[in-house]
Amino acid sequence: MKKRMLIILLGLILAMPGFAIANVQTPGGSEKPAVPGSQEKDGEKETEECDCEKQEHNHKDWQAKMAEREQKLLGWVDQFTPDKKAEWTKVLAEKKELRNKWLSPENSKKREEWKQEKMAGIQELKKQLDEGKITKEEFVQKAHGGKAMGHWKTFHDLKTAVEAKNDKRAAVLLNQLLEQSKQHNDKIKTMLAE
């Protein structure tokens, strides 16, 4: 189970840059982001994941985007589910703490093992894809552990609901995102405990 979680997380991390780069051409000739969680701002594409190998950038920029997203999220919590503010604050603080522990030098061996296991799983899936045993859609689904990128989609749906001034939908999505965030924190705790 622990290995499976590691494989899922590595697949998500490794797949995001590729998905963020891909654009879908619409009939009108305009491009739209192909990934939930990537957005366009004034013609510039903004992605949520770090793509260290393919482009030069500053991790502080990524951290600033994540901090901005967190503030936006907390503003929506104040607006739509103020009774959950303390719970959200706790979950977000725990997420930061867990991320810092995971990225710390003492966990570099665990990260490397996790990455190797994930890459081995992806290579096996790629081999099956090349041999025609699975379709591309099955490959993508299995590479993500049978799950779509739920929390990114939920955040995107939440943003859409807020923009549409659909208060009830926003409250439902905030609660859903809170549960997904708790589950994510639990997965990271499991990985750190191995």
The continuous run of DSSP H or E covering 45 comes out as: strand 44-46
Could you list the pLDDT tens digit for every one of the 194 residues in the chain?
Answer: 666 666 676 666 666 555 444 444 444 444 444 444 444 444 343 434 444 444 444 556 778 888 888 899 999 999 999 999 999 999 999 999 999 998 899 989 988 998 998 899 889 989 998 999 888 888 887 777 655 456 678 888 989 999 999 999 999 999 999 999 999 899 889 988 87
The pLDDT value given to residue 28: 45
| Secondary structure of residue 39 in the 3-state scheme | strand
Report the alpha-carbon distance of residue 124 to residue 122 in Å, rounded.
5
What residue type is 112 in one-letter code? E
Report the alpha-carbon distance of residue 111 to residue 100 in Å, rounded.
12
CB 133 within 8 A of CB 142: no
Q: Which two tokens stand for residue 75?
A: 């503003």
CA-angle at 145, arms to 105 and 187, nearest 5°? 45
Backbone angles phi, psi at 46, to 5 degrees: -120, 120
The pLDDT value given to residue 90: 95
**Residue 56 Cα distances to 51, 52, 53, 133, 171, angstroms:** 8, 7, 8, 37, 38
Report the alpha-carbon distance of residue 40 to residue 47 in Å, rounded.
9
The pLDDT value given to residue 79: 92
Q: Which two tokens stand for residue 80?
A: 């739509």
Tokens 């030069």 -> residue:
56
| Secondary structure of residue 46 in the 3-state scheme | strand
pLDDT digits (tens, 9 = 90+) for 50-101: 444 444 445 567 788 888 888 999 999 999 999 999 999 999 999 999 999 9
Closest C-alpha among 29, 24, 26, 67 to residue 45:
24
Q: Which two tokens stand for residue 169?
A: 């939908």
